[in-house]
Amino acid sequence: MTRYFTADHEWIAVEGDTATVGITDYAQSQLGDITFVELPAVGASLGKGDSASVVDSVKAASDVYAPVSGAVTEVNPALEDAPELVNSAPEGEGWLWKMTLSDAGQLDGLMDEAAYAAYVAGL
């Protein structure tokens, strides 16, 4: 599984033509305690950069953008009862949605882990 990152602090883990999307540890640390997560509808067609989800925290409500284009195939049901999973395991059990990629070429514009770490270090 290959993991990519966006400048908006989303991560995307790709296996074949299926991708899992969430927010990075940096993003959740900036938001504070997550109180609610609004997830996209299963079957929704997302374009790269579309607002797909909203994460509410004690500090703010933040949009989560689709890192690539595709169709939502699954959302994380655990977040309905335990949105704090986004805080405790943002790049694991706190994933937001899964999608089928419509254009794998869009991954080329994303950062790898080393590039993202350097990007965050410069903020």
Position 77 scores a pLDDT of 97
Instruction: Judge whether 117 lies within some domain.
Output: no
In which domain, by residue range, is 14 found? 2-103
Residue 97 and residue 7: Cα distance in Å, rounded? Answer: 19
Instruction: Judge whether 111 lies within some domain.
Output: no
Round the average pLDDT of the chain to a whole number and report it. Answer: 97
Q: With the C-alpha atoms ordered 97, 115, 103, 62, is the resulting torsion angle positive or negative?
A: positive
Instruction: Judge whether 32 lies within some domain.
Output: yes
Residue 7 and residue 31: Cα distance in Å, rounded? Answer: 16
Instruction: Judge whether 109 lies within some domain.
Output: no
Report whether pLDDT(1) > 90: no
**Each residue's pLDDT tens digit, 70-111:** 999 999 999 999 999 999 999 999 999 999 999 999 999 999
Total domains present in the chain: 1
Instruction: Judge whether 110 lies within some domain.
Output: no
Instruction: Judge whether 123 lies within some domain.
Output: no
**Each residue's pLDDT tens digit, 42-58:** 999 999 999 999 999 99
Instruction: Judge whether 112 lies within some domain.
Output: no
65 neighbors 49 (Cβ within 8 angstroms)? yes
Instruction: Judge whether 59 lies within some domain.
Output: yes
Chain-centroid distance of CA 86 in Å reads 10
| CATH code assigned at 31 | 2.40.50.100
CA angle 62, 116, 42 (to 5 degrees): 45
Residues in the chain: 123
Provide the Cα torsion 44, 111, 61, 21; round to 10°. Answer: 40
**Each residue's pLDDT tens digit, 5-41:** 999 999 999 999 999 999 999 999 999 999 999 999 9
pTM greater than 0.85 (yes/no) = yes
